[in-house]
Chains A and B, each alone.
Chain A
């Protein structure tokens, strides 16, 4: 019952907030996480659009479209394709709004509008923000962009050189352009904004560059700044006030963002936000996790380093923090906590709970009470030898002493490695199966801490890293996880890290792509691969599904290898150096034999 109320509220909020021309005769319920009772097989009506990278505020990436099913997906065929003209890692999710598809490319961040009402989806217009070329020099892990967001007739996206731009969805003209950061401080923008009510939420990248992380809210109307919450420094900067009630004692205190650092180091402590924000309209809270502290060498920053690697619950209107929980106090391994926080209502120990589900880079699947910030469970979903678990009484991650990196010492066989057990690649949750679907990596590493100079606008890392495949020798997996019981439902081993996002549908089909260029459809209940198609270049993008103006269901994904693991291809790196690309090249030295650069959108239908 409570679930249904949540859904109704979600649907209403979304529908009133961002719908322009709802298709006739349909319930405008896009964006809602349709969570029908287990007995239902029809699901909630889905208008077939895709308005934000995460599909809905709950970050489920679940589509109610059911034309493509487990029995007919084998007949899926290429409908049309489109070249983005950019050969760097394509991590974005396309948007589909009012018969138009919007794609944002990696740097130089071109926004394309494609007309879905015409055969072959011809180009309607393109918008070129022309970001500063120098921004490429401060983007840690390829020059990616994770997508745009749509609301109120505007398509809003970020450029690598720290601009947030709103473009008129119909005409392709710029509505406003806000400058949020500075490449000379090492900042870039790579994340997909989230629009909540009349506010655009944006966070910065640059945890490897000695930035000071933040999330900023802009007015959707004119791009003016409403609030900015820093992730290090005094409480007034972090927007911690009287409302702030963290569940665990270690997250309580005054100005912890200053006192948990060596003097003044919070000013260059990293903790950006380049991943996913979710929103619960009923509680009126946004949830997001902050990135890693810098430099990587933990010996150079004694203390808990708050508020790096922390999930915040905040009021969207004011930014004020309501609760916080630090996943990785005194982070040892670049374990950013920017992964998605799914807003779900689940039956936990026989009781319906409002939870947040978060697959964390440290290899544990966290389930929170999203009202209080209490960790209900944190079970490992992948191999880890760096922590023995989470103490649910104190909330503290239990590190393994012998795996702690140190200056001048090589610590071997650290699992999971710097990119974690799962990185940014977003998961999908199906209310029909009750399972969470996600690609992740199986990578371990050797790490040596180094002294490092802080020079503004240059990297601030202080480590030599060499990654390699984890136990079993496969470097990636696509997994279905039962968040209620905390168990693996099924898993598919992949040669390379699965760096693509996931979408799951009411047809019980889940889609993902591999870095060697296979786009796959799997049975959401069994994990059987039902269909696969070889695209031009490796896939690290976010697949989506939508209903075309012709009423048919389509599945779309960008191909174009790159990102951190694919930098060896997109950046022509040299595998003679195992420490290249912050150590990822050692684990990916054979990738150039499997894929070349690319930048093409593929769209499939029956």
Chain B
């Protein structure tokens, strides 16, 4: 009896402590937390950059896989391929034009960016944009390996997300317009 209690208690702790398998059917994405996103490393007048909103989906396997599915469904893959880029920039490298944090990626998808990134506001539900943002971070190894998707059923592309080399993000991407 006591053993069983201990086991149950241990399982409860394990389940609560691990977000990997959590699956919510009514999403409450942290949209409001993304209101003060900056994409520049310069903050005039001193002080600190705005606090980052950590995506609730980044440690969640189901959400990351949803992000992966949506990445194809919304034709993100049409421009960014399986992360190597094409019409749009690569997402598996270490260069970020408009920031690599989840809230920055969220903003980039929501608002678009002037050199060809479409604005998806009103077209993709908020929770799905957060799932996409979490998945996009996993493409360059920025999400926990135990939650990131493993090898897909398609033709071999880049290494699977859970084996993707972790690229140290650099806010060094050059938008094409800079070449004018």
Contacts and interface: CB of A to CB of B under 8 A. Distances in A.
B95 A579 contact: no
B82 A88 contact: no
A85 B177 CA distance: 12
Contacts of A446: 155
A134 B115 contact: yes
Interface stretch (B25-33, B48-56, B85-93): B85-93
Given A573-B90, A574-B83, A134 B116 contact: yes
Given A137-B115, A137-B117, A577 B157 contact: yes
B116 A137 contact: yes
B180 A139 contact: no
A138 B84 contact: no
A218 to B, nearest CB: 27
A461 interface: yes
A154 B174 CA distance: 36
B72 A450 contact: yes
A581 interface: yes
Interface stretch (B9-17, B35-43, B73-81): B73-81
A464 B72 contact: no
B169 interface: no
A582 interface: yes
A133 interface: yes
B4 interface: no
A488 B96 CA distance: 48
Interface in A570-603: 571-582, 585
Contacts of B74: 453, 455, 458
Question: Of B72, B157, B176, which is in contact with the most chain A CB atoms at under 10 Å from its CB?
Answer: B176
Contacts of A107: 176
A113 interface: no
Contacts of A139: 87, 116
A140 B75 CA distance: 13
Contacts of B125: none
Contacts of B79: 137, 458-459
Given A133-B177, A452-B75, A574 B154 contact: no
Contacts of B159: 576
A577 B95 contact: no
B78 A581 contact: no
Contacts of A410: 155
Contact of B87 (A137, A576, A578): A137
A64 to B, nearest CB: 38
Of the listed residues B75, B89, B177, the one surrounded by the most CB atoms of chain A closer than 10 A to its CB is B75
Given A134-B115, A137-B88, A464 B82 contact: yes
Interface in B136-180: 154-159, 165, 173-174, 176-177, 179-180
A235 interface: no
A577 B155 contact: no
Contacts of B88: 137
A328 B116 CA distance: 32
Contact of A459 (B78, B90, B179): B78
The 5 closest A-B pairs by CB, nearest first: A137-B116, A459-B78, A577-B84, A580-B84, A574-B90
Interface of B: 72-75, 78-79, 81-90, 92-93, 95, 112, 114-118, 154-159, 165, 173-174, 176-177, 179-180
25 contacts: A86-B179, A86-B180, A88-B176, A108-B180, A137-B87, A137-B118, A139-B87, A446-B155, A448-B154, A450-B154, A458-B74, A458-B79, A460-B75, A464-B155, A466-B156, A572-B85, A573-B81, A574-B83, A577-B81, A577-B85, A577-B158, A578-B84, A578-B156, A580-B81, A582-B81
Given A457-B118, A578-B84, 6 more contacts: A139-B87, A452-B75, A576-B92, A576-B165, A577-B92, A585-B84
